[in-house]
Amino acid sequence: MTASQVDTKYETKFGSLERFEKGGVQIIDDNVKNYAFSNCFEVASKAKPYEKVVFGQNQIYVLEALRAEGTSAWFTCAHDEFALCMDGEVEIHLVKLDAEQTVPDTEHNGAVLVKGEPMGPKMGWLKLRRGHQALLPKNAAYQFRSAKPGVVVLQTCKGKLSVERWADICQTA
């Protein structure tokens, strides 16, 4: 190890809706259109409450930024999803859905809206704060509730509710 490697200090900066730095592009010897650079805080700051805006994708798997604000609709999914609270505080209420409200196609990707109020036993609720993660189990209805604006990142599969705004969020030069 050289002296310059030992002296190098890295600082981790965790952003928020109120305070974030716009992402940048490092100069590479490649076509920059092969890379996506975005910022979940910036994406959420421009999104409608609980709009699922894709800001990262690997084949069918996506990261979606959600602006947590107020009470969301009820969602469900045929596969597990993960929610990570990046800013603020959000409650997630869970209901184990009766068979008639689950997604009938077990291969269906992405979340769907629950038709009407969820029917089935309540599973409880979670309170997530910055840095907390929750599992959103398959065939369970979930609803987000947040008194103040915050940011949730969902790890899921791209579906009909996934909103793509690549032209708005990616830097290409």
Say which residue, 171 or 149, is predicted with more confidence.
149
Residues 90-126 pLDDT 10s: 999 999 999 999 987 888 999 999 999 999 999 999 9
Sequence spans of domains, the chain:
30-164
- Other C-beta atoms within 10 Å of 109: how many? 18
| Tokens at 9, concatenated | 């200090």
Predicted pLDDT of residue 101? 92
Please name every residue paired with 156 in a beta bridge, in sequence order, or none if there are none: 62
CB 157 within 8 A of CB 110: yes
Q: What is the 3-state secondary structure (H, E, C) of 73-86?
A: CCEECCCCEEEEEE
Residues in the chain: 173
DSSP letters of 23-44? ------SS-GGG-----HHHHH
Residues 30-62 pLDDT 10s: 654 454 445 889 899 999 999 999 999 999 999
- Candidates 43, 49, 72; CA nearest to 165 is 43
Q: Please tell me the CATH code under which domain 30-164 is placed.
A: 2.60.120.10
pTM as predicted = 0.80
